Structure 1
Amino acid sequence: MYKRKKMSLILALLMIFSIFITACSSEEAVTTPPDETVGNAEASKYGGIYESYIEADFNTLDPAFATAALDGFMVSLIYDALIGFDAEGKVMPALAKSWETPDEVTYIFDLVDNAKFHNGNSFTANDVKYTFERVLDPEVASPRTWVFDKLKGAEAFMEGNAAEVEGIEILSDYKIKLTLEDPFAPFLSMLGMPAAHIVDKNEVEKYADQTQFALHPVGTGPYIFDVYNQGERLTLNVFEDYFAGRAFLDGINYRVIPDPSTQVAEFEAGNLDELLIPAADLERFRNNPTYRPYLRDMNTFWNFFIGLMADKPPFDDVRVRQAFNYGVDREAIVRAVRGDTAIVSHGPIPPGLDGFRPEFKSYPYDPEKSKALLAELGYSPENPLPIEFLHIESTANVALLEPVQAMLNQVGFDVNLISMESQAARVQFREGGSHNVYYLSWGADYPDAENYLFPLFHSSNWGGGGNGTRYSNPEVDALLEKAHKTANYNERIKLYQDIEDIVVEEAARMWFFLSRNWRVYKPEVKDVVLYRIFNANKMLDVWLDR
């Protein structure tokens, strides 16, 4: 009885808060245009330590194992890839200064000749070959083999039938040719993924246990790993000899601050140079003239979802998955809890990527339909279906998921929310664990709709590869593989949309919302650029006027 009263109270408060948020959203409380917030009125200058924070400890600083967003972002500061991305997600040169594609399967890269690793070793084409083959090496067991498995001869190499990958050919110290088995349009963009950031063989293999390299990273990137104290801080120092030019900052200090209210307090106390504003504090910052000139906002590619384990009961039955989707009023929850920091998501392909359809809609809120589907299986509010719902421990997650729990309990589920510390939870996500529902997000590793489809839904990517729900459909596998080999742009986009139709119908994920990030900076932080690809910002342009 107490549990039902609590759930009813949560839903009532949700409705009241939703109305309040709508009423309080002010069209006058807007950010200053980017060219007026952190501008170039003064000459850029070198020096200073940038004080920032992370919400949890990273898992690894080894590119071959960097699957979480935080890991990928840190990898991008310490290492470089052949290509990078600009603020809008367009491909730009990095360790490859130029390239040519004489045909649909061949890429020839001219590499920079002035890049050095932090240990002083010169970067050459040999490092590219070593990095890519290391990710494919079954003894290394990287969860990102799919980044390079389209190279000619990759399969033979992974099966132990070849000593090297045929499709990686060193033409000179600063020229390398990559050849694919079949045409694959997103391949160039994939070379900017964390797994494709270049490592030094000498540094990796100095450790008998290569997992030690994850805590002793050496790359060619603009910042050098300095100190890491678990649960406290990560410190990076500037790399003076960075091939693309020294960053303006002397270094970056990332404190580990899990609690959003503490993050806000530390920023307002002057101890942080930036703050990702929590939804609960957004209106206060937007309406405060002290902070308003230094606000920046951007729609991101981060697509938040609730994953339903399709390989185990009860979610191996599509009716249960669909009942789950029908049973949650996403519009009300997002409006009430996230306000202007999110928009409702209807499918895997986010706005801004080719293939997105503004008219595409997924499951409406229909509690009666949800009840009817559960009734077919013998479940009801009086005889509920128990589910174990795992999420990473945070107050923000609880604020979102308690209303989900309340709504689902009203239609015939019995939801048990389980919170875990980030690293422990991610192990469970990869390995399957005892949960049958989980909450997570997916961001663009590269700006192509394929990145939201193949990793998440192809059956070869169960677990760490991206397919955490263990979804499997031979038709979807075949369509994804066909899309990989389809050179015609319009045909490929149509295949992506056909795949999206199927996976939304089969409901292995409840697409929840896409985030809109609002950040505020100290007045002395200059030339801030916000990037849509999470690992694109190498902190090269920002400087401190102090």
Structure 2
Amino acid sequence: MTSAEGRAVPSRPRTRSTRRRPLAVVALAALLALATAACGGAAASAAPDTVRLVITDEPPTLEPCDASLTSTGVVVRSNITEPLAERDPETGDLEPLLATSWAQTAPTTWTFELRPGVTFSDGTPFDAAAAAFAVDRAVNGTIGCDVEGYVFGDTDLQLATPGPLTLQVSTPEPDPILPLKLSFVEMVAPSTSPTEKVREPVGTGPYTVGTWDAGTRLVLERNPTYWGEAPAFARADYQWRDDPTVRAAMVVNGEADLATGLGPEDGADELGVSFPNNETTALRIQADQPPLDDMRIRRAISLCIDRNGIIRALFNGDAQPAAQLVPDGVVGFNPALDPLPFDVDQARRLVDEARADGVPVDTPLRFIARTGMFPRIEQVVQAIAYQLGEAGLTTGIEMMDTAEQNSYQQRPFPEGAGPYLLMIQHGNQSGDASNSVDQYLRSEGYQSSWGTPEFDALIDRAEAQAGDARQEALGQLFAQEPESIHQYAYIAHMRGILARSPRLDYEPNSATGDEMRLAEMAPIPGGRP
């Protein structure tokens, strides 16, 4: 029930999809559980009211306005805090949550009616004033929220509260998808600092922060005052391990119920579940630094990526070669685009041509990637670096943790960093390519290294469109970017793999890589760890 054309969106009763598995699958799960126990694995006894999750790394923060960080979002989003509306990952519809309806009541104004009877976990009422505070803090504030750069850029919002449960949001120019953008803003209590980020937020969600032992584990507890249906599990116990084989083994051995970020070779076996995770991997080329400021060098880098070989050998065939930043299913995906061919000889010719023109092609390039970003990332980086060397470019691989890698991915970039290639993985959960275009393709985008005023103007015109015209205009941006900007060397549209315990009822979807809704998880009666 989208509202891109200004029609009101009606409320419906709050229901969380639990996506129950068929009884045959439940029976099979029970047999697998018995088999695991019979094998004498070091199974830890699981409290029936606790779901145990092992993720790739510890959240650097639980600050809700930084929930676009994957390691933060998988814990925070729709668990501790909630937005006004949320997108159904299967249908793409924007559905009511803390707002019951919305409509475009003026060319630059959207009006939201809020759900009555909702309180934050500290007892504070959720009303229009609280919603206005949360939006203002995240979008108009000065604390450097990721959601500001990730979704809104330099746009400031004007907020009004004509009634206790009525919120009006105005933009400088008409924005046909403002409700979609606001679905990325998590509501926080008015007691939250407006000038500093918080480590443990107060929200309206079905869970609250229980205990957080830094470096060890994080426990969420069921929110006893939650306005909706109580989740099945009373608590969620998060741990983190950087080795995917360890994460898989924890589920196989009954020490965890769900493990994320796995590869096909990590040992989950029958407990492994593959799902479309909506992520696209690419190299971002720091195009303002020589020799990367030469289009021939940027094109040569794209020609050095053996997409089919990487997918076949390192992703077990479980991905699609990428020619653009968003996957199929996102408004703006251009089905006519094909990736550049793998052609190291042509890449070498371009490098030699640039060298002859005085381009400093022998300058070493830093090749930066985040440990654990996706399975076998180290091997992918090494494979690409080898082919770059064959083309005459020198690279030095630098594997970083999340915080350090983010400093190179998000503005302001480190001064004096020199020319570097950055492995990125972008998941568009909004369903509209504007979310990707604004931050990755605009010349001053939050995660963009370069662009032009002419291309920015094309973005402006595309994002002013609606319906079929919007799809066409956004698709043309992806067709033109490699020709006029070529900031990215695209690699693959990914799929994810997680391990799921036989005792856990949960079906992953395209949003799982960025948020894991605990309310969609339930124990299987009779299931064993």
Shift of 1:127: 1.0
Q: Which range is displaced more, 271-280 or 418-427?
A: 271-280
Number of paired residues?
Answer: 477
Mapped pair 1:244 → 2:233: no
Deviations 1:263-322 (A, max 9, x none): 12212211010234733427x655xxxx2xx55332221111111101111111111100
- Distance in 1 (alpha carbons) for counterparts of 2:152 and 2:425: 24
Q: In 2, are the aligned partners of 1:347 and 1:511 still within 8 Å (CA)? A: yes
Residue 179 of structure 1: aligned partner = 170
Deviations 1:440-492 (A, max 9, x none): 1111141112122121111232xxx222xx111112100111122224x2222
Residue 279 of structure 1: aligned partner = 263
Shift of 1:34: 5.7
- Distance in 2 (alpha carbons) for counterparts of 1:275 and 1:299: 16
Shift of 1:104: 4.8
Partner amino acid, structure 2, of 1:91: L
- Distance in 1 (alpha carbons) for counterparts of 2:56 and 2:487: 28
Q: In 2, are the aligned partners of 1:125 and 1:176 still within 8 Å (CA)? A: yes
Partner amino acid, structure 2, of 1:223: Y
Residue 528 of structure 1: aligned partner = 507
* TM score, norm. by length of structure 2: 0.83
- Distance in 1 (alpha carbons) for counterparts of 2:130 and 2:236: 27
Shift of 1:108: 1.9
Residue 32 of structure 2: aligned partner = none
Residue 50 of structure 2: aligned partner = 49
Residue 80 of structure 2: aligned partner = 78
Q: Which range is displaced more, 353-362 or 321-330?
A: 353-362
- Distance in 1 (alpha carbons) for counterparts of 2:95 and 2:27: 23
Identify if the C-alpha distance between structure 1 residues 111 and 388 changes in structure 2 by more than 3 Å, giving closer, same or farther. Answer: same
Shift of 1:407: 1.2
Identity rate, percent: 19
Q: In 1, are the aligned partners of 2:307 and 2:491 still within 8 Å (CA)? A: yes
Q: In 2, are the aligned partners of 1:279 and 1:341 still within 8 Å (CA)? A: no
Within 5 Å, give how 1:25-174 maps onto structure 2: 35=22, 48-76=49-77, 77-88=79-90, 89-145=92-148, 167-174=158-165
Mark the runs of 5 or more structure 2 residues left unpaired by the alignment.
Answer: 1-19, 30-46
Identify if the C-alpha distance between structure 1 residues 55 and 41 changes in structure 2 by more than 3 Å, giving closer, same or farther. Answer: closer
Partner amino acid, structure 1, of 2:369: H
Residue 243 of structure 2: aligned partner = 259
Mapped pair 1:391 → 2:369: yes
Mapped pair 1:310 → 2:306: no
- Distance in 2 (alpha carbons) for counterparts of 1:47 and 1:132: 38
**Higher normalized helix content (fraction of residues):** 1
- Distance in 1 (alpha carbons) for counterparts of 2:364 and 2:152: 40
Residue 466 of structure 1: aligned partner = 447
Partner amino acid, structure 1, of 2:83: A
Partner amino acid, structure 2, of 1:188: P
Partner amino acid, structure 1, of 2:192: E
Mapped pair 1:432 → 2:413: yes
Secondary structure class of the residue paired with 2:339 = coil
- Distance in 2 (alpha carbons) for counterparts of 1:346 and 1:527: 32
Residue 352 of structure 1: aligned partner = 329
Secondary structure class of the residue paired with 1:144 = helix
Shift of 1:354: 2.7
Mark the runs of 5 or more structure 1 residues left unpaired by the alignment.
Answer: 1-32, 159-164
Partner amino acid, structure 1, of 2:116: D
Residue 22 of structure 1: aligned partner = none
Residue 188 of structure 2: aligned partner = 199
Shift of 1:536: 5.4
- Distance in 2 (alpha carbons) for counterparts of 1:170 and 1:277: 42
Partner amino acid, structure 2, of 1:55: T
CA RMSD of aligned residues (A): 2.8
Secondary structure class of the residue paired with 2:335 = coil
Deviations 1:129-162 (A, max 9, x none): 1111122445333343357859xxx96xx6xxxx
Q: Quick one: which of 308, 317, 329 aligns to 2:306?
A: 329
Q: In 1, are the aligned partners of 2:84 and 2:182 still within 8 Å (CA)? A: yes
Shift of 1:439: 0.7
- Distance in 2 (alpha carbons) for counterparts of 1:340 and 1:373: 30
- Distance in 2 (alpha carbons) for counterparts of 1:130 and 1:109: 14
Q: Quick one: which of 200, 203, 210 aligns to 2:196?
A: 210
